[in-house]
Structure 1
Amino acid sequence: MSSHLVAPSLLAADFRHLDRAIDLVNTSEADWFHLDVMDGRFVPNISFGQFIIEQIAQGAEKYVDVHLMIEDPGRYIESFARAGANGITVHAEACTHLHRVVQQIKESGAKAGVALNPHTPVSHLENVIEDLDTVLIMTVNPGFGGQKFIYQSIPKLRQTRDLITVHNSRAVIEVDGGIGLQNAQKVLEAGARVLVAGSAVFGADDPAAVISQLKAIDANPVAYV
């Protein structure tokens, strides 16, 4: 059995046929739905909000992973939880009081995650790592789909894994950005456990087959690769 999870990012799906994308994830070997919320301020693009997430969550038969790429996310935690988010991830860069926002997520009943942009050091997590369920390492600069994977992220994944180990945290490492069959094994070996894949899945001729291939990768974390 695979020890890692695959979370297709619906941002890369054809929104004219969103029901088909939901059915695809439900019936495939995927583990999570990954939903990217963009506000046009924290990142350049605007995507979708609570209403669309509520519609997706009503059809989702799997974990709904909501990634908030927005300013001042603490204002919206309750509304995203009510919309059906099982997990809510906020950006460390967007939170003046990160610990407070993490507690808000936990109090809402959702799993708590914190994301780091490529330039943000792992040390920013040191005072909240024991409270987290997920750490999302961005392997592209957030805001646009289809970008190339930043390979300097590999050492950062190892650093994150080490921080989790030192603090005896239960957090799992999620990676988002340019993830596909060409680099999935490397990020898994560096400590990632959740693969977010958008263009690699929904841009493929057979998305379900790509999900199966991502699930089938046999890569155990090693000390340093």
Structure 2
Amino acid sequence: MYKFSPSLMCMELTRFKEQVEALNERAHFYHVDIMDGHFVKNITLSPFFIQELRKISKLPIDAHLMVEKPSDFVDMVIDAGADYLSLHAETINGDVFRLINHIKDRGRKFGVVLNPATPLDSIKHYIHHVDKLTIMTVDPGFAGQKFVSEMLDKIKEAKKLKEENNYKYLITIDGSCNKNTFKQLVEAGAEVLIVGTSGLFNLDEDVNKAWDKMMETFNHEVKDITNVAN
């Protein structure tokens, strides 16, 4: 079954509790973007946001650290309640094994994120430790950007590697997951779709109705592919 992870930077924050309580019954993960204004030119959510989210949800929280120095944030987001820590490969080469060991020693899952221009080969020495592999299909930093179709080949490569080596990572897609891309992503090997503005929240003011519309579209687009989500 395919899984869906709402990107909460795209939600209506004035209706935080209402929307989270609705999504608790439908989503599989929550995706929380933490940006420092340096690695990307934007500032979004924070460890405090995760702390507040944890109070009203038991779903797994995936903290996506779009920051220059992830080691400065790791313990903060773990203490706040994150279950997965997804770190950009571009930021961790200097201490990646130390970070992996620390995250797993604290009982959390290690995720790695690849920007569109970063090849899968760049993580070959630690890919076997990865629990969640996130492939960016847009350049990071802002919502609503154009889908980078060249990333379909990277998704296929990640799926092939996973099957050939019995790796356990979840193939996760971040960026422009919506009615125009669902079929291509699933066919390429996507397992978790991070849905934001175009894929979910802009479909209806009522997030319950928005979810139903998203799933109707998704199931229609992938109806000829096996293991379609319910």
Question: What TM-score, normalized to structure 1?
Answer: 0.91
Per-residue Cα deviation, 1:20-62 (whole angstroms, up to 9, x for no partner): 22122113x2211111111100011001211111001111131
2:151 aligned partner: 153
Identity over the aligned pairs, expressed in percent? 31
Correspondence for 2:23 among 22, 25, 28? 25
Whether contact under 8 Å (2:41, 2:141) holds in the other structure is yes
User: 1:188 is matched with which residue: 186, 189, 192?
Assistant: 186
**Alignment size in residue pairs:** 218
SS at match of 2:24: helix
Aligned match of 2:82 in 62, 81, 85? 85
Structure 2: segments with no counterpart, 5+ residues: none
Match for 1:129: what amino acid?
I
Q: Find the aligned partners of 1:196 and 1:41 in 2 and give their Cα distance.
A: 23
In structure 2, the partner of 1:171 is 169
Unaligned stretches of 5+ residues in structure 1? none
**C-alpha distance in 2, partners of 1:65/1:72?**
18
More displaced, 13-22 or 139-148?
Answer: 13-22
Contact 1:181–1:213 (8 Å) recurs in 2: no
Indicate how the Cα distance of structure 1 residues 45 and 173 shifts in structure 2: closer, same or farther if over 3 A, else same: same
TM-score for the superposition, normalised by structure 2:
0.89
Does 2:96 align with 1:98? yes
2:202 matched residue in structure 1: 203
Q: Provide the rounded CA distance (Å) in 2 between the counterparts of 1:215 and 1:83.
A: 33
Per the alignment, in what secondary structure is the counterpart of residue 145 of structure 2? Answer: coil
Q: CA RMSD in A?
A: 1.6
After superposition, give the CA deviation of every residue in 1:196-215 in whole Å (9 maximum; x if it has no partner).
01012111113221343366
Residue 99 of structure 1, CA deviation: 2.4
Cα contact 1:6–1:215 (8 A) shared by 2:
no
2:50 aligned to which of 50, 53, 70: 53
Correspondences of 1:108-127 after superposition (within 5 Å): 108-127=106-125
